[in-house]
Amino acid sequence: MEYPKVCLRRGEEGGVLKGQRLIYDNELDWADDICTDGCVVDVLDSRQRFAARGFFNSNSRLAVRVLTRDEAEPIDRAFFARRIEAAWHTRQALGFSDSCRVVFGESDGLPGLTVDKFADCLSFQIACLGLEQWKPELISILAELFAPRGIYERDDLPVREKEGLPLIKTCVYGEVPEELVIREHDAHMLVSIANGQKTGHFLDQQENRGRLKPYAPGQNVLDLCCCTGGFSIHAALYGAKSVEAVDVSEDALALVRRNAALNGVEDVVTTTCANVFDLARQYVREGRQYGLVVCDPPAFAKSRKALENAYRGYKELNLQCMKLVRPGGYLVSCSCSQFMTPELFLKMLREAAQDAGRDARLLEPLIQSRDHPASLAGIANVIYGVVLMLVIFYMPKGLKDSLAKWIKALYQKLRKPARKEQV
């Protein structure tokens, strides 16, 4: 089959050849007159040789979303069926079954498509015009592969407007209940596919919530930006003495309380509705201390332009969190900002620890759950979420100052006799 063609500028071929699946409008030299927005195009290098095949949209900065680099591979229903089936088989091989991300966009060779599984229901999002035109086929493939109770379309992403697409929230297959219960490690969690965050629930931290097991027993826990209480509930189930879940959304906290009751830990988990920045500073002034602090804020840096301000926000919040950790306690610090690279995040944590007067040791550098694989081909998908667990040891400032003065005085005292003997 012949596809319309677009051509890369000289010197812009490297990204595609390295496996990047996103081609920006300023990387293109020309496009055929017959190219229409949403159509499949062949991408040529500057010497007119085939480089890739993907969806085209002249109205988007992401001019081409690459689907394949195999010139012999047509883009048809069978293509999407193969990709979705391969993605699901990968998750099954990793041990996921009840709830997980089934398709993760570019990382699964389907840029612009997200599919999440919650028990016996599916939720999906389409973020590009080209895929939108294949939506009936995609729904049909998902129905055949999973035989779900229902499939819900959560296409309320603002990015769709940049693609010229309407915002949609609706059940497109079967029946999706207003709420359902999923299993996450030792916890049961309520999920609202229609009204929850993203596609219904933050699955990217699913495996990391299970990592609390060695750190929670016997601790008083502060969970900042708790959302529906994933970390809070797990901490309580893993033996925490008390858990305070904090979020700015009262609706989220209402679900935390219901999740606590569902798991039989309502006597351990309390909720506080507040701005986490203000509350953290207040608790520092009050001299509060916790054995385990979890800090999992929303993405502060949603663009490169916002990175500088985001860095300051992360640093300030983590600085206060470190002051709230008792000696020998633990801090779980998270970032879901794709532009906040692991290196930059660690730099921020080092600076926060220095300014807080704390010595911090890195215990576990973690990334998003394995059902959210990170493509190594492009920065947009190179580890968008970093979870760091730190053990905080520090000496109270007053004691540190006193000890420093004592050591200085002792040093000077020991030096004086030697000086006298020389005279």
Catalytic residues: 336
Burial level of 214, CB count in 10 A (0-12/13-18/19+)?
A: exposed
> In terms of residues, how long is the chain?
423
Beta-strand runs (E) in 209-252:
220-224, 242-247
Please measure the distance between the N-terminal and C-terminal CA atoms of the chain and give it in whole angstroms.
99
Take residue 148 and report the two structure tokens written for it.
């779900």
Take residue 289 and report the two structure tokens written for it.
């201390």
Are β-strands 168-174 and 269-273 bridged in parallel, bridged antiparallel, or unpaired?
unpaired
Beta bridge partners of 66: 54
Measured CA to CA, the distance from residue 135 to residue 133 in angstroms comes to 6
**Helix orientation angle between 77-93 and 135-146, rounded to the nearest 10 degrees:** 40
| Residue carrying the six token digits 């708790």 | 226
| Residue carrying the six token digits 């099954």 | 92
Compute φ and ψ for 250, nearest 5 degrees.
-70, -30
Measured CA to CA, the distance from residue 248 to residue 305 in angstroms comes to 25
**Which of helix, strand or coil describes residue 421?**
helix
CA contacts within 13 A on the Cβ side of 72? 0
